[in-house]
Every structure is written in structure tokens, then in C-alpha cells.
Amino acid sequence: MESKIVRSTLVELGRNLPFGIEAGGKRDRSFSFKEWHYRDETFVDEARMRCAKADLNDARFASELLAHFVTKWGPFDFGPLTQEERIVRLEASKVGDILTAWIWLRIDALGPEMPIRVICPACGSGIERVGDLHVVDVMYLPPDCSSKEASIVVNLPNGVPWVHKQKGPFMARKVLLEPAAWMGLASIRGGAGIEERIGAGLAASIRALDDEPVSLTGQALASLPKRDLMILTHALAERAIGPILEIHAECGAVQGKNPDGSPKTCPQVVRQLLTWSHNPFFMELPSSVISQAFETVAVNS
């Protein structure tokens, strides 16, 4: 079946969640924030300490921050809700929705410019470039599609090891994948290794085995055969709703002159993976953006 999921840029999608919050048979894709002020840093520091103390990871810290700044989330008015009630609603949302809101929060608080520090593969130049978060690609489910159209059924060659209530242990071949909820990531320990993270992400996307609804943990997938793991991760990547975490910019390094005397620049597009964890995502601005704000004071002696 042809996928209904559409690729767009963040700014083209506008201030809409790529999946949205399901309510009354519809998906409400709207959300809003309050402004981020200096006084909010106290909250940020306290939330960071809370998460570190409880061995909770970057994803849970992102939930804490969003819960503090979000005022409306789909059909939910966050005004009268406590921090914990807000976190529950956010963590039940899709990973792609949380990451999309996260990027908009960064744009609202700090602007869209992100530093790109890579060596240009064409000319070897390694100066800092500036990427624009507005043009991050986002995969989204159009508003006229039903939420089911974001799901996919995968038939595995070996299957997922599963202990069935009546039948006992066996391999389930038919797997229903749905966009994972943020909870699946936010529940991972702070110090979890890559294996645990991937397992938890995958388990959070598996909603049914052989047509029976399931709720798996990453641990349940420990003995998943490698070939099946490969097929499942590819199936998920193809149907992933949310931002593609990569920024790009033209290299632009000067490489001599054109025949008309204008500077000849390197046209190569350089790319860098976007690290969404609070540090560096909310802690960095390109140096060119900061220096633009400087003004030299004329000293008359």
C-alpha cells in the first residue's frame, strides 16, 4: 500500500504537529507555548537536577521542559494542569510530535540558527556554517488521513519471541507497527546503552503481534533474530513521522575568483546530524549570530 506520509519542511508544515493528539475521532495538530524568560532558568536547573537524581534521561528532561512551556497541546489546555498531569499528556504523544514542538520551542526562544561544524567533503574547509531550523525536513500525516494510515503491518521471516498467555512461548510473525509514543523513550534510564535505547524505541512501536494487542519492553526483544531486527528498523524508518534530525548549509568557502572578478565559492551542501538533547540544542548559537549583535563604541579622546 502506498504510504500517505508526506515530506515537507518545518516552516511549510507551519505550527502544526506532524501527527497530532487524537480526540473524538480526529487529530488535533495545534499547540502553543509561553515565552521563555530569564526567570525560567530556575525551573530548567531544578528540572535538570530532578532528572539526574532519578536517573532519567534526556527525553524525560525534554518532557519536563515542554510541560513547563506548553500552554495548549492539541485539545488540552495546560493552564489548569499540574506539571505531572502535563507530562502524562505529553509522554502519551508521538515521538515526532514532541520533537517537532521541541524544535519550535528552540526557534521561539533562541532563533532558527544552529551552528554546523563539519569539514566540507568537497574542499576541506572547516569553518563554522549556519543551519536554519525552519528548513528541517518533517514527515507528517496529512490532516485528512486517519491515524491508521500511519501504521504498517510487517511479516517477519523468523518472528518476535513472545510468550502467549495460552499458547506459551512462540515466534509471532505478523507485527503491527505504529508511531511510538514519547513515553517509550522517556522511560529509558539515563545511563542506558545504545542497545537498550534501540530496543525501547522498537518495543514502543510494536502495538500488536499476530493481531493481538501487546505492550512490550525493550528487554522482550533481546533475542529478536538479527534479520528481523533489520527489517523492523527499516520499516520504522520509512514510516517515521516527525522531523528528520539533520541540518544543512552551503559550504560557501571562497576558492579564488570568477572571470568577472566576483569571489568563486564552494557550492557543496554540508550536512550535520541534529543533536536534540537540551545541551547543545538550547545552549548554542552560531558565533556569527552573536557577533552581529556587537557594536563598537566609538571612543573620542
Which residues form the interface with Zn ion (CB under 5 A)? 120, 122-123, 125, 251, 253, 266, 268
Neighbour-count burial for 12-21, b at 16+ CB within 10 Å, e otherwise: ebeebbbbbb
Nearer to Zn ion, 124 or 143 (CB): 124
Beta carbon nearer to Zn ion, 54 or 127: 127
Q: What is the closest distance, in whole angstroms, from the C-beta atom of residue 134 to Zn ion in the complex? A: 23
Q: How far is the CB of 248 from Zn ion (least distance, A)?
A: 13
Q: Which is nearer to Zn ion, 151 or 268 (CB)?
A: 268
Nearest distance from C-beta of residue 199 to Zn ion, angstroms: 39
CB of 262 to Zn ion, least distance (A): 17
DSSP letter string, the chain: -----EEEEHHHH-S--SS-EEETTEEE--EEE----TTHHHHHHHHHHHHHHTTB-HHHHHHHHHHHHEEEETTEE-TTS-HHHHHHHHHTSBHHHHHHHHHHHHHHHH-SEEEE----TTT-----EEEEGGG-EEEE--TTS-GGGG-EEEEEEEEEEEEETTTEEEEEEEEEE-PPBTHHHHTSBTT--HHHHHHHHHHHHEEEETTEE----GGGGTT--HHHHHHHHHHHHHT--EE--EEEEE---EEEE-TTSSEEE--PEEEEE---SHHHHTT---HHHHHHT--PPPP--
Nearer to Zn ion, 32 or 268 (CB): 268
Q: Closer to Zn ion at the Cβ: 225 or 252?
A: 252
Nearer to Zn ion, 48 or 271 (CB): 271
Least distance to Zn ion, CB of residue 129, Å: 10
Q: Which is nearer to Zn ion, 156 or 249 (CB)?
A: 249
Cell of 107: 526557534
Least CB distance from residue 254 to Zn ion, whole Å? 10
CB of 268 to Zn ion, least distance (A): 4
